[in-house]
Structures are given as structure tokens and as C-alpha cells.
Amino acid sequence: MDAPTKPDTRGEILKTTLQLLGRRSYHSFSYNDISQILGIKKSSIHYHFPSKEILAVESVKKYYEKIEYLLNKLDNFTTDPWVKLDEFFNFFKILLERNEVCVGGILTAEVSTLPNSVTVETIKVFNRVFDYLANLLKISRDNGIMGFSGDPRSRAVMIMSSIEGALLLSRMFNNIQLFTDAIQIIIRDLCI
Amino acid sequence: MDAPTKPDTRGEILKTTLQLLGRRSYHSFSYNDISQILGIKKSSIHYHFPSKEILAVESVKKYYEKIEYLLNKLDNFTTDPWVKLDEFFNFFKILLERNEVCVGGILTAEVSTLPNSVTVETIKVFNRVFDYLANLLKISRDNGIMGFSGDPRSRAVMIMSSIEGALLLSRMFNNIQLFTDAIQIIIRDLCI
DNA sequence: TTTATTCTATCTACTAGTAGGTAGGTAATT
DNA sequence: AATTACCTACCTACTAGTAGATAGAATAAA
């Protein structure tokens, strides 16, 4: 058994920031929120992240890692594209159950007032997901497992558009069924 | 010919607010922005709208009217549901061309930090649109013009989810094609 | 091994700027 | 005279951020 690890303040700050981004928005949380949640002073946060921009950039990078971990886990877990999609959608459903939505969706909605460096990282997340989904869709259609028409990448983008939109609406209407219904339609439209 | 109409400061404030909401977000514009754009002082805005919450509520109500006007115009213009949908989607495409997105989508993304009264008005807008689309879809399928499967209202919600998501992503990627591709898929998936 | 120095990570105290908002004043209109 | 619609001047609260201090840990030197 290892000795007690030293507290990871930096990591806790990032984790808290991601939660705040998933529940609120970039402009709706402040260093003061984090300091109260973690019981440290604002200047301690500034020590680890000298500006809010840097904090957000690092947070989005961490989010990218979480997405990367999810996608790798899907590929290690199964080769069945339907199961992969199911688990992929489930990742977002679990966010909803915690009253969060996708950090990417939040930042996308605020993009016109975001520091550019944050936008750049956000775009990377989406492109990673688009690539993954487009590849999955293409292979599945080539194998005759799926029957959708049109360009796989456009379909991938449209799936993520639907997911982001459905997450936001589902949260506003306080109705998870709204999200799961949308997922059913997305899946059904892939079958034809 | 009428005499010069008196300046409609209240209306100009509302119009400017809607533009700011469509380009930024609730938390990313301030009375100061409006005062600079219109060349009036903040307190003059406060005179017409004593609080930001009231300003937002009135703005969303005005947006509801714009949507209502759009939907009525569609119904007066044609009975062809494909043309109606095309024109409906075009309304949002024109927003993109002005570097705006749907006010409803913006507010939905910020809902966790909005005054409740603003949320209530936003929900009304969406329900209006869901009702309209669900009705259009149901009639069109009953008439054999459309071939989608599943509940028309769920399909309507999913269409709006896709539109909101695609608007946000299209704006972020600075690529209108992203939006128009999504629209193509939405329409195509209604044909089966 | 002990001591000195450097590094890390937190703190207190403070800043400039901006947000939403208020109170009182004034000119024009009714 | 009352109302409307604008103004100046100001307020509190909060934001992101800064400077300096300090304690503990790690490293280097004797």
C-alpha cells in the first residue's frame, strides 16, 4: 500500500472547473466559486493557473483526455458499432443525470466571447469526436451493418449537433426522456 | 405620408438586445454595450427596462413574436411542407450569415444561471416551435408526403436539437456548410 | 549529517475595472 | 401640472488579477 499521496490541488481545480463549465458556462463561474468549493483562496488558484484563459485551456485539454479515454475504452470493449454508439451516448446521458451538459456544447455556445486559445482547444475536442464517429459510421456502412445515406462525416457532425442540442434542451425542460428520444431517432435513422 | 415617427428607443433597445443575445450570450452583454451601440446612457435603458431580467424577458417575448410571424408567414405562403421546412431552416441560415445563432439556443445553454422568468419565456418559444413542427410532420406523414418513423413530436424536438447544435457548431467552425449539410440530412431522414 | 539555499504552494492584502443598479435633475411634451 | 424620457453622478458587489510574505519540502553544499 502506498503512502498517502500528497493533495493534488491543481487537479482538483481542473476537476472543479470542468464541473462548473458543465453546469454553468465560462462567463458564469469565477475563481471565487472554485475557491469556495475547494476551500482555498483565489490567489492559490492564480498560482496554479495565472489567468482564467489558461485555466480554461487546461480544463478543455483535460476534457479532451476524458473523451479520448472514452473512445479508447469503447474500442477496447467491443467491435459492435451499435454497442459503441450506445455507450458513447450513455456518456452524455450520465452528465444529464448530474445536471451537467457537454463542456464542448457550453463553450460552443459562448464561442464569440471566448479567448481564442480556448476556442482552439474546443475545436480539437469536436474534431476528435467527428473523426471517430465518421470512421465508425463509414466502416459500419461498408460492412452493411448500417444503412444511412450521405457522407459519413456530415452524419457524424449532425449526430454531435443533435446530441449537443438535445442535451441543452433536455436540461432546460428538466426531462431526460427528451434526450433519450432523440438518441432513439438518431440510431433509427442510421438503420435505413 | 405620415409625419416623422418619434424615435422608438424602447424598440431599438429590444432589437439591439436580441442581436447581442444572438451573437454573444446573456452573461456576455451588458447595459453598457447597448448604451454604446445606441448612443444613450445606461440609466436611459434602466428607465425603459428597470432590470436586466426584465430586459431579457421582454426580448424573448419579442423573439417569440418573430417566430410566430415566421410560422404564420409559412402557412400563408404555401401548403407544401417541404417548402415550409426549407423556409423555416432558411430563417436560421440567415442568422448564421449575420454571425448570429438562435437566441433560444443561446439562452438554453445558459439556463442554469438565467433568471427563472427568462427560462419560462424561452421554453414558450420552443414549445411553440415544437407544436408547429410536430403538427406539420404528422399531417405530412398521414398524407404520405413524408416517411419518417416514430412520434412526430419527438422528431420535431430532435429537429430543433439538431438545428440548435448545428448553428452553434457552424458558427464556431466558421463554416455555414456544416449547417446546410445537417439540414440536408434532416430532410433526407424525413423521406424514408 | 547538518546547514544553507532554493523551490513550491499557500496565504494576506490589495487593485482597477466593470457589472447592474439608484437617486436626483432637467427638458420636452401632454 | 403631470408625465415622459433622457441625463449626471454615484453606489455596491464582484471580477480577474497583483505584490509581498511565509512555511514546508526539496536540494545542494559543507
pLDDT value of residue A2: 40
CB contact under 8 A, A149 and B122: no
Amino acid in position A187: I
Task: Answer whether B165's CB lies under 8 Å from A165's CB.
Answer: yes
Interface contact B19, partner A, CB < 8 A:
no
Please check whether residue B187 touches A, CB under 8 A. Answer: no
- pLDDT at A7 (0 to 100): 74
pLDDT at B4 over 50: no
pLDDT for residue A5 = 56
pLDDT tens digits, residue range B142-157?
999 999 999 999 999 9
Q: What was the pLDDT predicted at B80?
A: 96
* pLDDT attached to residue B1: 36
Between CA B153 and CA A159 the distance in angstroms is 19
pLDDT confidence of residue B100: 96
The pLDDT score that the predictor gives to residue B162 is 98
B41 touches strand D (CB under 7 A): yes
Residue B92 clears pLDDT 80, i.e. is over it: yes
**Of the partner residues A110, A122, A164, the one whose CB lies closest to the CB of residue B28:** A110
B53, pLDDT greater than 80? yes
Interchain CB distance below 8 Å, A172 and B122: yes
Greater model confidence, B81 or A1: B81
Q: Is the CB of A43 under 7 A from strand D?
A: yes
Please compute the mean of the pLDDT values over residues A85-90 and round it to a whole number: 98
pLDDT, position B2: 40
Which candidate, A45, A60, A50, A159, places its Cα nearest to that of A111?
A: A60
pLDDT in the model for residue B176:
97
pLDDT of residue A1: 35
Model confidence over A135-170: pLDDT tens digits?
999 999 999 999 999 999 999 999 999 999 999 999
Residue A28 has its nearest CB partner, among B24, B110, B157, at B110
Which nucleotides of strand C come closer than 7 angstroms to any CB of the protein? 9-13, 18-24
Percent with pLDDT over 70 in chain B: 97
d(CA B30, C1' D21) / Å: 38
* CA A164 to mean position of chain CA atoms: 9
Which nucleotide is closest, CA of A9 to its C1'? C9
For residue B160, give every residue at least 6 positions away whose Cβ sits within 8 Å of its Cβ, in sequence order, or none: A165, A169, B126, B129, B130, B133
* Beta-carbon separation of B171 and A106 below 8 A: no
Q: What average pLDDT does range A101-105 have in this prediction?
A: 97
What mean pLDDT is predicted for residues A103-132? 97
Interface of A with B in 45-84 (CB under 8 A): none
pLDDT in tens, B108-140: 999 999 999 999 999 999 999 999 999 999 999
Q: Is the Cβ pair B166, A161 closer than 8 Å?
A: yes
- Using a CB-CB distance cutoff of 8 angstroms, which residues of chain A are in contact with residue B189? 189, 192
Cα B159 to Cα A27: distance, rounded to the nearest angstrom: 28
Sorted by where each starts, the structural domains of chain B and their CATH numbers stand as 56-190 (1.10.357.10)
Alpha-carbon distances, residue A125 vs A63, A130, B169 (angstroms): 8, 9, 12
**A29 CA from C22 C1′ (Å):** 27
At B3 the pLDDT is 41
Interface contact flag, A24 B113, Cβ < 8 Å: yes
Residue A175 has pLDDT above 70, yes or no: yes
Q: Does B158 touch chain A if contact means CB atoms closer than 8 Å?
A: yes
Q: B14 and B58 in contact (C-beta within 8 Å)? A: yes
Determine contact: A176 vs chain B, CB below 8 A.
no
pLDDT for the residue A4: 44
How open is the CA angle B147-B152-B155, to the nearest 5 degrees? 90
* pLDDT of res. B7: 76
Model confidence pLDDT, tens digit, residues B172-187:
999 999 999 999 999 9
pLDDT of residue B181: 97
Q: How large is the average pLDDT for residues B63-71?
A: 98
**pLDDT of res. A103:** 97
The separation between CA A68 and the C-alpha centre of its own chain, rounded to angstroms, equals 10
Instruction: Give protein residues whose Cβ lies within 7 A of nucleic acid chain C.
Output: A 7, 9-10, 39-44, 47-48; B 29-33, 42-43, 46, 50-53
Min Cα–Cα distance to chain A from B158, Å: 5
Calculate how close chain A gets to B5, using CA atoms only, in Å: 35
In this predicted structure, what is the pLDDT of residue B46?
95
Q: Chains A, B: CB contacts under 8 A, how many?
A: 158
